[in-house]
Structure 1
Amino acid sequence: MATSAVAGPDRERAVRRYVRERVRISVDALEQLVGGLGTAILASAALLLLVVVALACVVGIGLLGIPSALKAVRSAAGRERARLSRSGFPLPEPPPVPTGAREALRDPWMRRECVFVVTHGTVGFALGVIGLSLPLSAVQNLLFPLYFWLLPPDMGGPGLVVWRIDGLLDALVVALIGVGWLAVAVALGPRMARLQALPGRRLLAPPRDVDASLRIAELTATRAAALDAHAVELRRIERSLHDGAQNRLVAVTVLLGAARRALARDPAQAAEVLDRAQDAAESALAELRTVVRGILPPVLDDRGLAGALHGLAAGSAVPCTVEVDVPGRCAASVEATAYFVVAEALTNVARHSGAGAAAVTVRRDADRLYLSITDDGRGGADERRGSGIGGIRRRVEAHDGRFTLTSPPGGPTTILVELMCGS
């Protein structure tokens, strides 16, 4: 009976967690679909201009419109690049549009962008309209029993409901159809969002030869950042040992020498000095433990990443909620980096944000670990002010990860981190 009583609340918590996660995923998908619909409208306009200029070129009067059409294509592609970069898929900016029409048509960036506006302006537009209409249809159907009596019975219901509505029972059937639309939106929304973003991710990425050179430059920069982070970490360890444990060990040595000299003259004084030496040795041992925890916190080995982060939240000066969905274990260096990021971020929240609450979310998707740290403080965080954010960025980039800071004046502040953690 006790086991069943414990299992019941656990199941309830698991169901609530699953529902919250599905709602979050569905809302994110709807937001992405609406954003993609906006860029798809721009792509459709650029596609229409391309078609008009192409038809005009057939009769010999469209050559002057080619630069404007290509600029429209670049503008639509740039908006989609910015949207995908904000959603965690950064895309580098292309070089300027070539001045000549012939050079522009030979440019691999420009050709890929032209294919993008054709695809995104048609398929992406359709997916955005469908993705937006599904939840709207669900809301219309679900609310229909509240206002059906205001409409003529022969008018039917919203959307595809064209039959006669004679009473509350028919209206409830329409509401049940709304539940079905909602289920379809929850099930298909994330897939449609990924499909809508696929042309941008494939076609707006750098061409293969350019991508290789950019990747080499990125690896060179991250290697330099890793070396810098390593040097900073060594200096921190050296300062901690020099200012803490080393000074206390020197004090132990001095006190032991004083106790040895006092042993023959005044044994009582020697015992007092030995007690002080023991206190200094214990303090040195505590300092050494602190340094070791800073290198690789033992709590990660003892309790795993989830337990370690809950421990950080429990010790935070600002009330903090933690949600971890990481099946299995990641590499020790990745878990240590995630722990460092959360610890430093919560320290910054307590010191600089004036926040009343913070939230930490960690999840693993395939071979990537995603971290989100959010607070409701005053915002305006800037890593150039030396608040520790620069150290977080260097630590993340040293692992070839991605770091994004969003902190408008007035808040909220959100740190997004993506780390590679293996399959």
Structure 2
Amino acid sequence: MTASTRETAEGGATAAPVQRETFKDIALRTLSAAGRAIAQLASGLNTAVLAALLLLWLTLTAVTSLVGVGLLMAPAPLRGLHALAARERDRLARWGPEVVAPEPPPTRLRAALADPTTHRELHWLLRHSTIGALLGVFGVLLPILAIRDTAFPLYWTFMPANTTATSLGVGSAHTWADALAVALLGVGWIAIILGLTPGMARLQSDPGRRLLAAGPDVDLSLRVAELTATRAAALDAHATELRRIERSLHDGAQNRLVSVAVLLGAARRMVARDPAGADELLERAQSAAETALAELRTVARGILPPVLADRGLAGALSGLAADCAVPCRIDVDVPARCAASVEATAYFVVAEALTNIAKHSGARHATITARGNGGRLVLRVEDDGRGGADAEGGSGLTGIRRRIAAHDGDLALTSPPGGPTVLTVGLPCGT
């Protein structure tokens, strides 16, 4: 079954008609992606410089080890290698999915040199200190070159004669036509920034994501510990959900039904001597019964929303977007239905994310994207609010993390000050 929809909801009872992305939306998304990529490349340059210095230190240690001196200081650069690798994992987690660290390497020199984790970290160090540093330099220089050349017509008349005009170090400007030609070069730099920097950022981070993550040769005790923690979080989430349901039934529907029973008893005793009073009591009992029924429906929807069975994930997410106070765009492309528990988790994750956006972000627009590919369901919720969301704080994000952990999924949150805030969730699409 195919579920594919693109809708815009302005907040209301029903979803708005299908609306294509405008040129403004595409331009804003492209600018946002390029800005994030430049910031990511700049942060990567920081660790790349440290990697180059550490590589020089390790090389010096290896050379001096031939005469025995380097063996004495070898543990220090190895500790520096592990610390820098941990710093790079933290950096990558800020810009995308978390990089799960392998088991800590051994501390003894001989065992550390034979450890596969150390070998992968050394491989990453070599790649990041060369290719990563080069990409980081380009990421920092490209905006400078673009500003310098694009703004050249504004200041070229104040420059000394025969001064190099372009940022490439060639050519000089003698006329306005020459100055405008330099500005066109600046436009070319901008096109390169918009088109290539996202790929450059991925190319810079790819070695770290492949080489610094726990590999298949890592001790299975790590995975056992992770699954144990996941199971504990799932059981806690299940117990919390049961307490919520019990509290809702006890404090809401049960009280209403008790009130209905009391009112019906009183009306039965009054029907003979005071028909008008009995009719009033019956009316109150009917109202209480209708309220109790509505509360029971609310509790039932909180367990498993019927809209998922009736309209599928695409329809359920469209309903959430329509009810959100912030205008939302929906883009769902899930070729096959996922397991009911996975779809329910996806529904509640998006519902909680939209609630957080409406309450705390100050956003004007939000976008919900869902993709099903390769046996995984990937959700992405983005808003243009003030940013600064804390991935470790707030009961809402804690609840989302627990629901995802129950399915062995993953969560990534990026929310720099000033926005945008992007929540990415991956779930195995089990059947």
Bin the TM-score by the shorter chain: 0.7 to 0.9
Corresponding letter in the other structure for 1:418? V
Look up the match of 2:163.
155
Aligned with 1:280 (options 288, 296, 314)? 288
* Cα distance between partner residues in 1 of 2:383 and 2:173: 50
Give how far 1:294 is off: 2.1
Look up the match of 2:196.
188
Look up the match of 2:218.
210
Pairs within 5 Å for 1:304-315: 304-314=315-325
Find out whether 1:418 has 2:425 as its counterpart. Answer: yes
Pairs within 5 Å for 1:86-165: 86-94=94-102, 98-160=106-168, 162-165=170-173
Q: Does the CA contact (< 8 Å) of 1:400 and 1:419 recur in 2?
A: no
* Cα distance between partner residues in 1 of 2:390 and 2:125: 36
**Which deviates more from structure 2 when the two are superposed, residues 113-122 or residues 248-257?**
248-257
Give how far 1:247 is off: 2.2
**Which deviates more from structure 2 when the two are superposed, residues 70-79 or residues 374-383?**
374-383
* Cα distance between partner residues in 1 of 2:212 and 2:388: 36
Look up the match of 1:6.
none
Corresponding letter in the other structure for 1:46? L
Alignment length (residue pairs): 404
Find out whether 1:168 has 2:176 as its counterpart. Answer: yes
Look up the match of 1:363.
369
Corresponding letter in the other structure for 1:368? V
Q: Which whole-Å deviations, capped at 9, do the CAs of 1:65-116 have from their partners, x for residues lacking one? A: 3112212322321221110122233234455554432121012211111111
Give how far 1:359 is off: 6.4
Give how far 1:335 is off: 5.3
* Cα distance between partner residues in 1 of 2:429 and 2:159: 58
Look up the match of 2:243.
235
* Cα distance between partner residues in 2 of 1:379 and 1:34: 22
Give how far 1:290 is off: 1.8
Q: Which whole-Å deviations, capped at 9, do the CAs of 1:32-90 have from their partners, x for residues lacking one? A: 11111111111111111111122222344322231122123223212211101222332
Q: Which whole-Å deviations, capped at 9, do the CAs of 1:316-367 have from their partners, x for residues lacking one? A: xxxx45454444587464554355345546666888x6x7658654334654
Corresponding letter in the other structure for 2:427? M
Give how far 1:296 is off: 3.5
Identity in percent: 52
Corresponding letter in the other structure for 2:280? E
Return 5+ residue gaps in structure 2 as ranges.
1-17
Aligned with 1:177 (options 185, 210, 222)? 185
* Cα distance between partner residues in 1 of 2:381 and 2:322: 16
Return 5+ residue gaps in structure 1 as ranges.
1-8, 315-319
* Superposition TM-score, scaled by structure 1 size: 0.82
Q: Which whole-Å deviations, capped at 9, do the CAs of 1:289-322 have from their partners, x for residues lacking one? A: 22123224456666835533434432xxxxx454
Q: Which whole-Å deviations, capped at 9, do the CAs of 1:370-418 have from their partners, x for residues lacking one? A: 23568659988975xx85543333223223333467899x999968452
Give how far 1:133 is off: 2.2
RMSD between superposed Cα atoms in Å: 3.5
DSSP 3-state at the match of 1:154: coil
Q: Does the CA contact (< 8 Å) of 2:102 and 2:213 recur in 1?
A: no
DSSP 3-state at the match of 1:160: coil
**Which deviates more from structure 2 when the two are superposed, residues 251-260 or residues 19-28?**
251-260
Q: Does the CA contact (< 8 Å) of 2:166 and 2:172 recur in 1?
A: no
Residues 1:268 and 1:89: Cα distance change in structure 2 (over 3 Å): closer
Give how far 1:218 is off: 2.2
Q: Does the CA contact (< 8 Å) of 1:379 and 1:413 recur in 2?
A: no
* Cα distance between partner residues in 1 of 2:331 and 2:388: 29
Q: Does the CA contact (< 8 Å) of 1:374 and 1:415 recur in 2?
A: no
**Which deviates more from structure 2 when the two are superposed, residues 374-383 or residues 30-39?**
374-383
